[in-house]
């Protein structure tokens, strides 16, 4: 792997870094405090082409790949994670299933609007009775032969980007059949926002990611055309495993950004803050803490870029994606805790970015596969699981 960014990727990195610094940093704290979705910032990200980064130009994308997406996510999360997760979920969970598994007609219908950020997509996998054990899906979809429509019933929980004013679709996983041994056959189905019987609850009150949109969804006899099936019937389980494998690389890039943001803020603060007659950055205890934080962010970056390079070049990347996600989320929590400590009492005040980073870090060990699930995947790749 060449660890130098190409001139195009370096240009993208610089552009997003500047945008995060100039357009996100001054405004996002207020949105976060008000638990409000930052439409104007998301619109601007759409204009910049960020939602289309890894998609071909023929569908309205930028012709990039997962490496480009990761670079953008890392730079955004250095400043704010609500913005970064809105992009991550919009691309990896909203648009990517349509691109990977959709028919040509589905791609033409949805991708140009998803790539421009005019419309956000969401992915509804998790249910109130289980997230890690996604095979235990209870939502059902029955094909009505009279109308040639799927009839969907069930509940999904914790779904990102599912209830904004610009949400256009949610892809849901549902049991469409059972195998002879009784095991459920799961399929993915596109449900456009506003379909009768599809209800979006009020946003959750969350510990972090407060300027991002997360909702519970319910489906009561929701009817969509048979043509809204995404990919092959009964292949939904395999499809979402692929989507989650890729998504973990994106979450890892986001976690790396948060970890690096903690370093950025800590260096700045350690130079300014005086204690016992000198800046606290002059004390070795603080220097060593920040040096360790930098080491962890750097290593996490190597891990996600390695997994992304494997994905882009068509090599197996499942284990590397799980390693990168596990490591970067662990060290994001470490760095957020240490950055808060370096800020002393100010670190506990919401006006300081590190307070937001601390609150935003924990979910990284939970979403898109918990740390326990990542360990299970790594052990399985090592031939250990039964
Ligand atoms: C803010 C937010 C946004 C989210 N966005 C989305 C989204 O857009 N789409 C979506 O589908 N989901 C989304 N999720 C759901 C998220 O992916 C799940 O919360 C996560 O996968 C864990 O599932 P769970 O909450 O049901 O926990 P559970 O699966 O109930 O797990 C509880 C605990 O048990 C552990 N555990 C479970 N099984 C095992 C085992 N076999 N061995 C050891 N330990 C185990 C877990 O690691 C965890 O610590 C989101 C969640 C949050 C909080």
Ligand 1: residue whose CA is nearest its atom 9: 159
Ligand 1: residue whose CA is nearest its atom 14: 158
pLDDT reported for residue 372:
98
Question: Taking residues 71-98, what's their average pLDDT?
Answer: 98
Q: What does the pLDDT look like over 86-130, one tens digit per residue? A: 999 999 999 999 999 999 999 999 999 999 999 999 999 999 998
Ligand 1: residue whose CA is nearest its atom 12: 126
Chain centroid to CA 346: 29
| Span from the CA of 370 to the centroid of ligand 1 (angstroms) | 6
pTM confidence score: 0.97
Question: Taking residues 261-284, what's their average pLDDT?
Answer: 98
Task: State the burial class of residue 51 (Cβ atoms within 10 Å of its Cβ: 0-12, 13-18, 19+).
Answer: buried
Q: How many helices (H) and strands (E) does the chain have?
A: 12, 10
| Span from the CA of 162 to the centroid of ligand 1 (angstroms) | 17
CA 149/CA 295 separation, integer angstroms: 54
Chain centroid to CA 1: 24
Task: Report whether pLDDT(385) > 90.
Answer: no
CA 311/CA 248 separation, integer angstroms: 12
Give the CA-trace dihedral at 292, 320, 326, 331, to 10 degrees: 10
Residue 158 Cβ contacting ligand 1 at under 6 Å: yes
- 52-56-58 Cα angle (round to 5): 105
Contact between 270 and 343 under an 8 Å Cβ cutoff? The reply is no
Residues with catalytic function? 368
Nearest to 87 by CA among 79, 78, 77: 77
Q: What does the pLDDT look like over 275-310, one tens digit per residue? A: 999 999 999 999 999 999 999 999 999 999 999 999
Residue 93 Cβ contacting ligand 1 at under 6 Å: yes
CA 93/CA 384 separation, integer angstroms: 29
Tokens describing residue 247 = 């998504």
Residue 267 Cβ contacting ligand 1 at under 6 Å: no
Question: Taking residues 221-232, what's their average pLDDT?
Answer: 97
Task: Report whether pLDDT(3) > 80.
Answer: no
Residue 251 Cβ contacting ligand 1 at under 6 Å: no
CA-to-CA dists, residue 206 to 32, 92, 203, angstroms: 11, 22, 9
| Span from the CA of 293 to the centroid of ligand 1 (angstroms) | 27
Share of the chain above pLDDT 70, in %: 99
Residue 329 Cβ contacting ligand 1 at under 6 Å: no
pLDDT reported for residue 59:
98
Nearest to 120 by CA among 149, 78, 81, 160: 160
pLDDT reported for residue 131:
87
Nearest to 125 by CA among 174, 60, 80: 174
The alpha carbons of the chain give a radius of gyration, in whole angstroms, of 21
| Span from the CA of 280 to the centroid of ligand 1 (angstroms) | 39
Kindly state the DSSP code that residue 204 receives in the 8-state scheme.
Answer: P
Q: What does the pLDDT look like over 50-68, one tens digit per residue? A: 999 999 999 999 999 999 9
Torsion angles phi and psi, residue 198, rounded to 5: -95, 110
Residue 232 Cβ contacting ligand 1 at under 6 Å: no
CA 94/CA 104 separation, integer angstroms: 17
Average pLDDT, the chain: 96
């Amino acid at each position: 792997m060449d660890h130098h960014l190409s001139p195009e990727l370096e240009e993208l990195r610089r552009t997003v870094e500047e945008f995060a610094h100039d357009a996100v940093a001054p405004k996002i704290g207020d949105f976060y405090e008000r638990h409000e979705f930052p439409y104007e910032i998301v619109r601007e990200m759409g204009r910049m082409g960020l939602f289309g980064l890894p998609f071909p130009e023929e569908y309205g994308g930028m012709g990039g790949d997962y490496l480009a997406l990761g670079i953008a996510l890392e730079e955004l999360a250095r400043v704010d994670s609500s913005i970064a997760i809105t992009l991550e979920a919009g691309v990896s969970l909203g648009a990517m299933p349509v691109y990977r598994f959709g028919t040509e007609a589905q791609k033409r219908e949805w991708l140009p609007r998803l790539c421009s950020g005019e419309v956000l997509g969401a992915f509804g996998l998790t249910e109130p009775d289980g997230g890690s054990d996604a095979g235990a899906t209870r939502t059902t979809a029955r094909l009505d032969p009279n109308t040639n429509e799927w009839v969907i019933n069930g509940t999904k929980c914790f779904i990102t980007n599912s209830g904004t004013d610009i949400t256009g679709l949610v892809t849901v996983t549902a049991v469409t059949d059972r195998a002879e041994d009784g095991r459920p056959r799961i399929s993915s189905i596109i449900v456009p926002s506003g379909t009768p019987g599809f209800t979006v609850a009020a946003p959750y009150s969350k510990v972090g990611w407060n300027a991002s949109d997360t909702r519970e969804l319910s489906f009561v006899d929701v009817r969509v055309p048979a043509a809204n099936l995404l990919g092959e019937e009964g292949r939904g389980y395999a499809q979402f495993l692929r989507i989650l494998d890729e998504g973990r690389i994106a979450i890892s890039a986001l976690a790396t950004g948060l970890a690096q943001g903690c370093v950025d803020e800590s260096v700045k603060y350690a130079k300014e803050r005086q204690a016992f007659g000198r800046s606290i950055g002059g004390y070795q205890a603080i220097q060593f803490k920040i040096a360790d934080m930098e080491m962890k962010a750097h290593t996490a970056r190597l891990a996600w870029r390695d997994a992304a390079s494997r994905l882009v070049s068509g090599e197996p990347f499942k284990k590397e994606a799980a390693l990168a996600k596990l490591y970067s989320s662990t060290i994001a929590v470490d760095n957020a805790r240490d950055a808060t400590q370096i800020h002393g009492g100010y670190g506990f005040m919401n006006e300081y970015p590190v307070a937001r980073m601390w609150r935003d870090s924990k979910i990284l060990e939970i979403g898109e596969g918990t740390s326990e699930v990542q360990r299970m995947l790594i052990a399985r790749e090592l031939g250990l699981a039964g």
